[in-house]
Chain A
Amino acid sequence: MNYHPFILPFSIGAIFLFVVIAFKFFIWIKNLDRKQRYFVNKNIFSFKTIFAVWEIIREALIHRNIYKKNPLLGYMHMSLAFGWFLLIVVGKIESSFYAGTFFEEPWLAIFFKYFAKEQHEFFGAAFFSFAMDFLLLIIISGVLLAVFKRFRSKFLGMNKATKHNKFDRIALASLWWIFPLRLLAESTTAEISGNGNFLTGSVGNLLSELPVEAMELPVWWAYSSVLCAFFISLPFSRYMHIPTEIVLVFLRKWGATIGEQYSGLTDLQINSCSRCGICIDACQLNFAASIDNVQSVYFIRDTRYGNLTDDVANNCLLCGRCVEACPVGLELTLIRQQLRNKTEIPGKHYFDYTKAEISHNKADVVYFAGCMTHLTPTIIIAMKKIFKEAGVNYWFMDEDKGICCGRPMRQQGYIQQSKDLISKNMRLIASSGAKLLVTSCPICYKSFTEEYVFDIPVMHHSQYINTLLEKKLIKVNNTGISMVFHDPCELGRGSGIFEQPRKILKQIGELRSCKIEQENSLCCGGSLSNAVIELETQIKIRNHALEVLTESKPEILATACPLCKKSFVHGNKAKVMDIAEIVANNLNSHSNNCERKQKSSNEQKIVLEKN
């Protein structure tokens, strides 16, 4: 048997690793909530599993998403992940050919060079020898880049690297030592028995001056011990993402998503975070306001080790830029909302003071301005003008005595209270018999589309105005005015509405593009979700965003959110206008002939039916 006591540290480490991972996975999968379980059971034997395998190859091995961030950073991750994976697979095949059976000793592949000292003639021996050296070279180049990145992260496209804790430092140090020690061990053996290839053979030659005979066993012991240290620290460090991410990709492809309450999937996502720190560079609190301890990576880490404070949990704009940047695709904003959850008192109702339960106004379209829009009355006036121009029979639901849509409560973790508000609004809207709900506030829009259960379509006013323009129910003049559009977080990244507002603005004037827009657009800083930062910090974020947005010196900074408008107006950089105001100011009323008025009521029905 190919045995030497130095395989013991490796074997103990590997067994420990498998037991701990199996135990952790068992607990997390047991804790999946009912909806997640349903999706797993439904899709486990479908094509989705094959797609998941494809995504695992793409993301967990080749790391395509990190390549997109920076090619060198991508190469660093790929050389380590894919290189090591191939080293294991090719090594296993090599040792199987050598032993003539698939069931040789499991450690033979790891310490192959030591046990296969004599040149053996087995199938493809020369090829395997070359391939293993080549893979080792690739990995060592990755390790060198990783060491370099620790000190000069900017070179690999990251302005700020993650600050690590002690678990990570132990795991990181052992990971860095694994491959140089393997090279050293294989090279000494190669020098003694001449079984090296281009890399191990040459390094072995360099070592010939040293007492290689005496060195051989200690370096193999060191290699095995470092492997053991890495395996034992893996489940408690950032490297837990290696096994967890694979399970997460399967669950995600099967359709399981994060819900309202903390569940096993949340644990899986938290452990899938590799703490790469890409979210730090994406966070406006970091680069505009110099707050550097609340970013998703630190939030996830604190949650995982159970030392999360409410200050970290609450200090987030929930703008979603980190979700967009995350190479693992974690639902970071939803996890943060889950951690903010408050205890509930069953059966308690909070907002019984609102009297309106049933609407006495029957209308085709319900208009819900939203709380914030009431602070920017020009948007309301503009919307009224547009409704009138299009000849729409609408009911202004929260003109007086309206209540909140429930999303601010939800974001702060008061789910029960939020549901209370939702049920009240829902009853009110249903009783009006409307066929369409239009809102002016992206926060409300997000709430209506995600948390309300309606059978009528919901539109943000930018979508609605775009539909009216397409159906030629209203017409606008092209004034050629220059504009830049700011994507509100909840409307753009949150709901994926990028095109409609731009289509409208292009009909009115010249729409200029800006450096950071669409999926990566900046938050105005006024976000309600952050219950920690004060006005001074908000102003820093706002000023930075304004600088980016007004770089091309547009005459108008257009937006589609009353809260963004309210934030930017005080920046005094450009004239800030909501998209509804711009349309209302440029309505082409003269062409509004009788024919169109007749057409309008018919067309209106078509608009409603189409939606």
Chain B
Amino acid sequence: MKNWGFKISQPRTIDFDTADLKEFNKLIEKVPSSKRCLMCGACSATCSASNHTDFNFRKCHLMYRRGQFDGLAEELNKCMLCGKCKLVCPRGVNTRAIIYNMRIFLNDLNYKNIE
């Protein structure tokens, strides 16, 4: 068959009845302002890391909300924590704290000296 450079994408239906929202609730406790996010994408537009790669904070945040954690930890490692996203957010969401806490929750790297 001819290769058109396109392929049929896998279905990405999310069933919120079965989605794992435990982690997201944990995040809301740490960063209550994450509830205010309206997914406008201003954070991703200004992102220094997005300038180099397809890293996308909005996508990461959405994946986390929906409980899709595959490869998310590695993706979050691309962030440089520079904090530009936090300053441009029109809803005053502490995006940097969201990223930081997502990293703590998902990553194998964690505090050295704190239990």
Chain A positions within 8 Å of B, measured between CB atoms, are 262, 303, 306, 308-310, 313-314, 338-345, 350-351, 353-355, 371-372, 374-375, 400-404, 406, 408-409, 412-414, 417, 421, 526, 528, 531-536, 563, 566
Contact = CB atoms under 8 A, between A and B. Distances in A.
Nearest to B93: A535
Contact of B81 (A303, A344, A400, A408): A408
Contacts, number: 112
A371 B48 contact: yes
A535 B87 contact: no
Contacts of A351: 78, 80
A309 B114 contact: yes
Given A371-B48, A372-B87, A413-B111, A353 B33 contact: no
Given A343-B110, A354-B52, A534 B81 contact: no
Contact of B82 (A309, A310, A314, A371): A371
B35 to A, nearest CB: 11
Contacts of A400: 51
A589 to B, nearest CB: 33
B78 A375 contact: no
B48 to A, nearest CB: 6
Contacts of B48: 371, 402-404
Given A306-B115, A375-B46, A531-B97, A404 B77 contact: no
A262 B112 CA distance: 9
Interface string B48-88: 11011101000000000000000000000110111110111
Contacts of B83: 371-372, 408, 528
Nearest to B81: A408
Given A408-B81, A534-B31, A310 B114 contact: yes
Contact of B113 (A262, A402, A528): A262
16 contacts: A341-B113, A342-B112, A350-B78, A371-B83, A372-B84, A374-B84, A375-B46, A375-B88, A404-B80, A404-B81, A413-B111, A534-B32, A534-B33, A534-B94, A535-B33, A566-B87
A358 B52 CA distance: 16
Q: Which of A262, A372, A414 has the most CB atoms of chain B within a 10 A radius of its CB? A: A414
Nearest to B54: A353
Interface size class of B (residues with CB under 8 A): 35 or more
Contacts of B80: 351, 371, 403-404, 406, 408-409, 417, 421
A345 to B, nearest CB: 7
B96 to A, nearest CB: 7
B104 interface: yes
Contacts of A345: 109
B109 A342 contact: yes
B14 to A, nearest CB: 28
A368 B110 CA distance: 31
Contacts of A339: 111, 113-114
A343 B112 CA distance: 5
Given A353-B53, A534-B32, A412 B112 contact: no
A404 B111 CA distance: 23
Given A408-B81, A531-B97, 5 more contacts: A339-B114, A341-B113, A353-B53, A412-B81, A413-B111
Nearest to A302: B114
Contacts of A533: 94
A294 to B, nearest CB: 14
Nearest to B91: A535
A306 B94 CA distance: 29
A-B pairs, 10 with minimum CB distance? A535-B92, A404-B80, A371-B82, A353-B53, A404-B82, A408-B81, A528-B83, A341-B112, A531-B100, A531-B97
